[in-house]
Amino acid sequence: MKIEIRNRWSDAVIFIHEAEGATMRDAVLAAVRQGVSLRAADLRAANLRAADLSDADLRAANLRAADLSAANLRAADLSAANLRDADLSAANLSDADLSAANLRAADLRDADLRAANLRAADLTPIRDDIWAVLSSAPREVPAVIEALKAGRVDGSTYHGPCTCLVGTIAIKREVNVDDLEGLRPNSSRPAERFFMGIRKGDTPETNQFSALALEWVQQWHDNMVAAFGPKDSAEAA
C-alpha cells in the first residue's frame, strides 16, 4: 500500500511510503527515521500514539486532533504547528520548540514541557487550569505572585520553603498540602505540570515558565479586582 504525506497548503507530495498494510503512522515514522522534513505536512487526526518523533521537523504541520499521547517529541521542532484538539497527554515535549504553536483545546495532562520553547504559543488550556486553581484559593493569590517574583517556587515538590503552585497556597494558609480545603495535589493536571518548569531561584526575568505563570496569575488577579474591586475581589472569587 502506498501512503503519501502531503503539504497542508499546496497538497504537494512531501514523502511516499510503500509497504504492505502501511498506515499514515508508518509513513511518518519512516520519514522521521530518514531525516525528511515534515514541515507543513497535513497530519490531521493522525494516530501517532507513543511514536518516537524526537528531533523531528514538524514546523507549521497540521496536527489538529492528532493522537500524540505518550509520543516522544523531545527536541522536535513544532514551531507554528497546529496542535488544536491534539492529544498530547503524557507526551515528552522537553526541549521541543513550540513557539507560536496553536495548543488551544489540546490535552496536555502529564505532558513534560521542561525546557520547551513556549514563546507566543497558545497555551489557553494551561492558563485556564491555573486560573481554576486560583479560583479555589483567591485569598492566596497575592502570595503566589510574591513567590514567583522572589524565586520561591519549585514546581517539583509539594513541601519545603519553595514549593509548587498548590504547595505555595498551602504555605500561605499554614496548613499541610493534603489538608487544603477545596484543592488537592494532582501532579497530572496541566497547571501543576507547567509549574514543574520552575525551580527554586527561577524568576520571571530568568525563566519563561515563571514569566508566563506570573503573567497569568497577575491577569487573574487584575480581572477579579476590575470586576469586584480591590477590597471584595478575594471574597467574590
Number of separate helices (H) and strands (E) present in the chain: 7, 2
Q: What is the pLDDT of residue 232?
A: 55
- Does an H or E element contain 16, and which? strand 13-18
Q: Supply the pLDDT for residue 237.
A: 47
Q: Which domain holds residue 142?
A: 126-236
d(CA 206, CA 162): 17
- In this predicted structure, what is the pLDDT of residue 233? 57
State how far the Cα of 139 lies from the Cα of 169, in Å rounded to an integer: 9
With a cut of 50, list the residues of the chain below it in pLDDT: 236-237
Quote the DSSP letter at residue 202. -
In this structure, the answer to whether residues 139 and 208 fall within a common structural domain is yes
d(CA 6, CA 36): 13
Q: Cα(128)–Cα(112) distance, rounded to whole angstroms?
A: 18
**Rounded to whole angstroms, how far apart are CA atoms 141 and 120?**
25
pLDDT of residue 171: 96
- Alpha-carbon span 98 to 123, nearest angstrom: 10
> Which pLDDT score is estimated for 191?
93
Q: Residues 137, 205: one domain?
A: yes
pLDDT at 109: 83
Domain's final residue, options 104, 122, 140: 122
Q: What is the pTM of this model?
A: 0.83
Question: Residue type at 9?
Answer: W
Same domain, 147 and 219: yes
Same domain, 130 and 226: yes
- DSSP labels for 151-200? T-B-TT-SSSSSB-HHHHHHHHHTS-GGG-TT----TTSHHHHHHTT--T
C-alpha distance from residue 137 to each of 35, 60, 118 (Å): 48, 38, 26
Q: What are phi and psi for residue 97, nearest 5 degrees?
A: -95, 105
Number of domains in the chain: 2
User: At which of 75, 91, 122 does a domain end?
Assistant: 122
- Provide the grid cell at 162: 519553595
